[in-house]
């Protein structure tokens, strides 16, 4: 009887053979065109059968001697490494940083010496609280970690998309993170701060109030990584060749302007596409629309720092841009996705203490604590002190040292000498001139555990932030606070938060209290320093005030039906693409539709899989019968009513009116509804979209 052995079809040769490794010293077997490489074990033994374990007889027990099976399963069983304790969910990309002009006057950092110098970079964006598999549109801070492979060593600028932080001293970091993540007895909620533990801790930490205003704002629900700012947060130092120090704050500004989504949209995006942010970055880079940021710096000296009544060492404070203008010093372009997520994005190790000569730290106690923490976390996560040998972490400049051995050492010193000084004239030596010199600040004092008086004002800048927002943005803060606190089950915590809000803005506190149903207004929280009410608003803090000039980089969703006008469709496509935006087609069936002239229009999404929350603006390009049919579908009605409720611009053909009506949207409701009839209207529609949202509609839709 013939042996029944199930084998898979041999996979056709891809021609790229990326998974064929060159053995140590061995030459790669050259594959002929069309030849498929032979599957091997990790040790190179060719495999004859990858479908069946080795057994005694067809139905007998499996044999321990099956080393191929053991090799395969052993490796699989060890695939996971611990996820990051914070910022577990992240997405990275490669690119370069290009220096505009020499900053030699301020810093000896090699990266800032020559105009036009290009430095390779790897950037990892992340959320903070959620686990590795959580959704992208959590209300959360976004990590903005940049590794610059400079010619004098790696510089890690490990920042966030928010310029301040919750706490002033690193000793509170474990408490902050414990309180923010899932509650330990129940292990929920996932990736959200809307729970008792978080607000309990926050309401007991008045220093967090400025940051709270930021995370309750739209900054915490960005539309895309591409449309958010990044901040080094702390005050750092530039140090010149003459050892002169200048304080510096780093700010990344997105070339496409800032943009966020609204909360109701974020909730729906998380269901429709939990990978919304990573998909956005992937698609932009793969299609050649490389995202770009400008690096700007705020430079100042000690006298300037002393002119404030807050402390520039306090990470809960900003220096408003209107008081100290950020100077553009270079641009960051992301132009390549990693070849492998794990090898690069997961194994990349950022550490604030990685700074090249010419960049130094200030005494910010949060930064000092971070400089201590990041090394430990990399050892824990990556498992060996040799994590710097991983290609993503290794410097790209020459390096030479006597570190050796340890788990997984890929490189060891060569030759007899593995120490210095040595009499053999071998190996590298220190260089007082070229080497890193810490800024020789004069430090003196008693050992104390104290918070400086200059760190005592917790409310003035929270108020400054709130006062600098446009009315829709202020409304969003009110709604976010109300939503989050409504999930807090302990009334005393809700009231304690309102007592803090009273020190920020009385109307804000009163509205939140009213929306939470708090009947008796609490007294304002004790403030160590009376909040200032004379700070000039800073328009730079608003997203809406700093939106894009064009609709470039954004996405239009076009809902089509059979019988549409193919010429109009093409005109719209041309207008959208001319603007640098992208158009995606949604239809009842993913197979697409037939236009009136018989042309086929392919769809990217079927209506249930392509809700309007995935797009920045929508168009209803429908024939009358098409609209009648779609009007019976809940998903099509939601497509329209959500786009309207989220204040998006809606283009529509006259045939689409039946669907608008069924979705409860008046075709003449406001100027955000635009009739499309010809080329001119297609262009007019795209121009209108540059505003991104018609915020004036928001009061009417009352989301
Ligand atoms: Fe942190 C990761 C940013 C305070 C300790 N942090 C981490 C990442 C970012 C930041 C972007 C992810 C890096 C990546 O993508 O791999 N962290 C910040 C900012 C802070 C901050 C902007 C305040 C200004 N962090 C902070 C403090 C501590 C840490 C005060 C501890 C004392 N952070 C860590 C960490 C992590 C980390 C535990 C987890 C994973 C990692 O380092 O590599 O060490």
Long-range CB contacts for residues 40-49, cutoff 8 Å, separation at least 24: 41/67, 41/68, 41/71, 41/72, 42/71, 42/75, 43/71, 49/5, 49/7
Q: Over 50: is that where the pLDDT of 15 sits?
A: no
Residue-wise pLDDT for 319-373, tens only, equals 999 999 999 999 999 999 999 999 999 999 999 999 999 999 999 999 999 999 9
User: Is any atom of ligand 1 closer than 6 Å to the C-beta of 233?
Assistant: yes
Residue-wise pLDDT for 159-185, tens only, equals 999 999 999 999 999 999 999 999 999
Enter the pTM of the model: 0.96
Question: How many other CB atoms are found less than 10 A from the CB of residue 279?
Answer: 15
Q: Over 90: is that where the pLDDT of 10 sits?
A: no
User: What's the pLDDT band for 11 if we cut at 50, 70, 90?
Assistant: very low
Residue owning the nearest CA to atom 44 of ligand 1:
374
Does the active-site annotation cover 289? Answer: no
Architecture (CATH level 2) of domain 26-79: Irregular (4.10)
The number of the ligand 1 atom at minimal distance from the alpha carbon of 164 is 24
Taking alpha carbons only, the member of 543, 490, 15 closest to residue 261 is 543
Q: What's the pLDDT at 33?
A: 86
The number of the ligand 1 atom at minimal distance from the alpha carbon of 233 is 24
Alpha carbon distance 45, 672 (integer Å): 65
Distance of CA 92 to the CA centre of its chain: 9
Total count of residues recorded for the chain: 703
Q: What's the pLDDT at 74?
A: 97
- CA distances to 302, 312, 448 from 452, in Å: 17, 12, 11
Q: Say how many Å lie between the CA of residue 372 and the centre of ligand 1.
A: 11
β-strands 555-560, 142-150 pairing: unpaired
Residue-wise pLDDT for 120-160, tens only, equals 999 999 999 999 999 999 999 999 999 999 999 999 999 99
**What is the residue extent of each domain of the chain?**
26-79, 90-389, 462-544, 551-701
The helix or strand, by DSSP H or E, that contains position 668, with its residue range, turns out to be: none
Q: What's the pLDDT at 12?
A: 42
Q: Say how many Å lie between the CA of residue 371 and the centre of ligand 1.
A: 10
Q: Over 80: is that where the pLDDT of 27 sits?
A: no
304 annotated to bind ligand:
no
Q: What is the share, in percent, of the chain residues with pLDDT greater than 90?
A: 93
User: What's the pLDDT band for 701 if we cut at 50, 70, 90?
Assistant: confident
Tell me if 135 sits within 8 A of 100, measured CB to CB.
no
Q: How far apart are the first and last CA of the chain?
A: 71
The number of the ligand 1 atom at minimal distance from the alpha carbon of 145 is 11
The helix or strand, by DSSP H or E, that contains position 269, with its residue range, turns out to be: helix 263-272
370 annotated to bind ligand:
yes
Alpha carbon distance 223, 291 (integer Å): 14
User: What's the pLDDT band for 21 if we cut at 50, 70, 90?
Assistant: low
Q: Over 90: is that where the pLDDT of 454 sits?
A: yes
User: Is any atom of ligand 1 closer than 6 Å to the C-beta of 368?
Assistant: no
Tokens 């990217």 locate to: 604
User: Is any atom of ligand 1 closer than 6 Å to the C-beta of 508?
Assistant: no
Does the active-site annotation cover 270? Answer: no
Q: Say how many Å lie between the CA of residue 221 and the centre of ligand 1.
A: 19
User: Is any atom of ligand 1 closer than 6 Å to the C-beta of 252?
Assistant: no
Q: What is the share, in percent, of the chain residues with pLDDT greater than 70?
A: 96
Q: Over 50: is that where the pLDDT of 77 sits?
A: yes
Burial class (CB in 10 A: 0-12, 13-18, 19+), 161: buried
The number of the ligand 1 atom at minimal distance from the alpha carbon of 88 is 40
Q: Over 80: is that where the pLDDT of 643 sits?
A: yes
Question: How many other CB atoms are found less than 10 A from the CB of residue 13?
Answer: 14
Tell me if 299 sits within 8 A of 246, measured CB to CB.
yes
| Topology of the domain comprising 551-701 | Rossmann fold (3.40.50)
Q: Looking at the domain covering 90-389, what would its CATH class be?
A: mainly beta
Tell me if 590 sits within 8 A of 606, measured CB to CB.
yes
Residue 658 phi, psi dihedral angles, 5° rounding: -60, -40
User: What's the pLDDT band for 24 if we cut at 50, 70, 90?
Assistant: low
User: Is any atom of ligand 1 closer than 6 Å to the C-beta of 142?
Assistant: no
β-strands 617-621, 605-606 pairing: unpaired
Probe ligand 1: pick from 179, 370, 388, max atoms within 8 Å of CB?
370
Alpha carbon distance 229, 251 (integer Å): 7
User: Is any atom of ligand 1 closer than 6 Å to the C-beta of 166?
Assistant: no
Please list the alpha-helical segments (H only) found in 383-439. Answer: none
Taking alpha carbons only, the member of 585, 588, 618, 621 closest to residue 604 is 585
* CATH code of the region 462-544: 1.20.1370.20
Stretch 439-443: mean pLDDT, rounded? 96
Mean pLDDT computed over every residue of the chain: 95
Tokens 């533990």 locate to: 197
Residue-wise pLDDT for 190-224, tens only, equals 999 999 999 999 999 999 999 999 999 999 999 99
Residue 361 phi, psi dihedral angles, 5° rounding: -100, 160
User: Is any atom of ligand 1 closer than 6 Å to the C-beta of 614?
Assistant: no
Residue-wise pLDDT for 469-500, tens only, equals 999 999 999 999 999 999 999 999 999 999 99
Q: Give this complex's ipTM.
A: 0.98
Alpha carbon distance 202, 205 (integer Å): 5
Computed over its alpha carbons, how large is the radius of gyration of the chain?
Answer: 29
502-515 exposure pattern, b = at least 16 Cβ within 10 A, e = fewer: bbbbeebbebbbee
Cβ-proximal residues to 278 (8 Å cutoff; 6+ apart), any chain: 91, 136
Tokens 């490669």 locate to: 94
690 annotated to bind ligand:
no
Question: How many other CB atoms are found less than 10 A from the CB of residue 259?
Answer: 23
342 annotated to bind ligand:
no
Alpha carbon distance 366, 164 (integer Å): 11
Q: Which of 68, 87, 195, 210 is catalytic?
A: 87
């Amino acid at each position: 009887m013939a042996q029944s052995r199930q084998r898979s079809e041999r996979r056709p040769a891809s021609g790229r053979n990326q998974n064929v490794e060159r053995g140590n010293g061995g030459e790669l077997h050259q594959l002929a065109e069309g030849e498929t490489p032979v599957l091997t074990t990790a040790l190179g033994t060719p495999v004859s059968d990858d479908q069946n374990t080795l057994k005694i007889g067809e139905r007998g027990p499996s044999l321990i001697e099956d080393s191929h099976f053991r090799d395969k399963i052993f490796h699989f069983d060890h695939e996971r490494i611990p996820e990051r304790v914070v910022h577990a969910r992240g997405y990275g990309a490669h690119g370069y940083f290009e220096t505009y002009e020499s900053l030699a006057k301020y810093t000896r950092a090699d990266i800032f010496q020559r105009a036009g110098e290009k430095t390779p970079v790897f950037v990892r964006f992340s959320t903070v609280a959620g686990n590795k598999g959580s959704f992208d549109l959590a209300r959360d801070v976004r990590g903005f970690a940049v590794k610059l492979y400079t010619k004098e060593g790696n510089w890690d600028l490990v920042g966030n998309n928010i310029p301040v932080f919750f706490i002033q001293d690193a000793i509170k970091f474990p408490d902050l993170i414990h309180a923010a993540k899932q509650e330990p007895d129940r292990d929920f909620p996932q990736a959200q701060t809307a729970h008792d533990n978080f607000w309990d801790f926050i309401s007991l930490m008045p220093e967090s109030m400025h940051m709270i205003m930021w995370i309750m704002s739209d900054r915490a629900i960005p539309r895309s990584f591409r449309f958010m700012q990044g901040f080094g947060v702390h005050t750092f130092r530039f140090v010149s060749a003459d050892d002169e120090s200048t304080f510096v704050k780093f700010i990344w500004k997105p070339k496409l302007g800032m943009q966020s989504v609204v909360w109701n949209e974020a909730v729906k995006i998380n269901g429709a596409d939990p990978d919304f942010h990573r998909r956005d970055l992937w698609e932009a880079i793969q299609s050649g629309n490389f995202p770009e940021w400008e690096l700007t710096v705020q430079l100042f000296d000690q006298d300037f720092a002393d002119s404030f009544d807050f402390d520039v060492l306090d990470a809960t404070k900003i220096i408003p841009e209107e008081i100290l203008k950020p100077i553009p010093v270079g641009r960051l372009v992301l132009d390549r996705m990693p070849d492998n997520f794990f090898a690069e994005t997961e194994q990349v190790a950022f550490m604030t203490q990685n700074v090249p000569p010419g960049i130094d730290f200030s005494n910010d106690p949060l930064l000092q604590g971070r400089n201590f923490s990041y090394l430990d976390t990399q050892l824990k996560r990556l498992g060996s002190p040799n994590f710097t040998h991983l290609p993503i972490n290794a410097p790209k400049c020459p390096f030479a040292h006597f570190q050796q051995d340890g788990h997984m050492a890929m490189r060891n010193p060569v030759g007899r000498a593995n120490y210095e000084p040595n009499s053999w004239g071998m190996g590298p030596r220190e260089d007082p001139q070229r080497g890193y010199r810490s800024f020789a600040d004069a430090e003196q004092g008693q050992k104390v555990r104290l918070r400086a008086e200059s760190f005592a004002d917790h409310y003035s800048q929270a108020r400054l932030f709130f006062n600098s927002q446009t009315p829709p943005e202020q409304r969003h803060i009110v709604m976010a606070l109300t939503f989050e606190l409504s999930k807090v089950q302990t009334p005393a915590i809700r009231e304690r938060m309102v007592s803090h809000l009273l020190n920020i803005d009385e109307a804000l506190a009163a509205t939140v209290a009213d929306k939470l149903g708090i009947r008796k207004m609490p007294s304002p929280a004790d403030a160590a320093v009376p909040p200032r009410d004379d700070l000039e608003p800073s328009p730079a803090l608003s997203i809406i005030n700093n939106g894009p000039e064009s609709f470039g980089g954004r996405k239009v969703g076009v809902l089509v039906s059979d019988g549409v006008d193919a010429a109009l469709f093409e005109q719209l496509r041309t207008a959208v693409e001319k603007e640098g935006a992208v158009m995606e087609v949604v239809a009842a069936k993913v197979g697409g539709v037939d236009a009136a002239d018989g042309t086929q229009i392919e769809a990217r999404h079927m209506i249930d899989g392509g809700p309007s929350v995935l797009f920045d603006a929508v168009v209803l390009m429908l024939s009358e019968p098409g609209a009648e049919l779609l009007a019976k579908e809940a998903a099509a009605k939601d497509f329209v009513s959500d786009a309207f409720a989220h204040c998006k611009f809606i283009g529509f053909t006259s045939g689409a009116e039946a669907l608008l009506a069924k979705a409860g949207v008046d075709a003449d409701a406001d100027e955000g509804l635009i009739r499309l009839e010809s080329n001119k209207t297609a262009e007019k529609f795209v121009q209108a979209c540059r505003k991104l949202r018609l915020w004036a509609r928001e009061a009417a839709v009352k989301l």
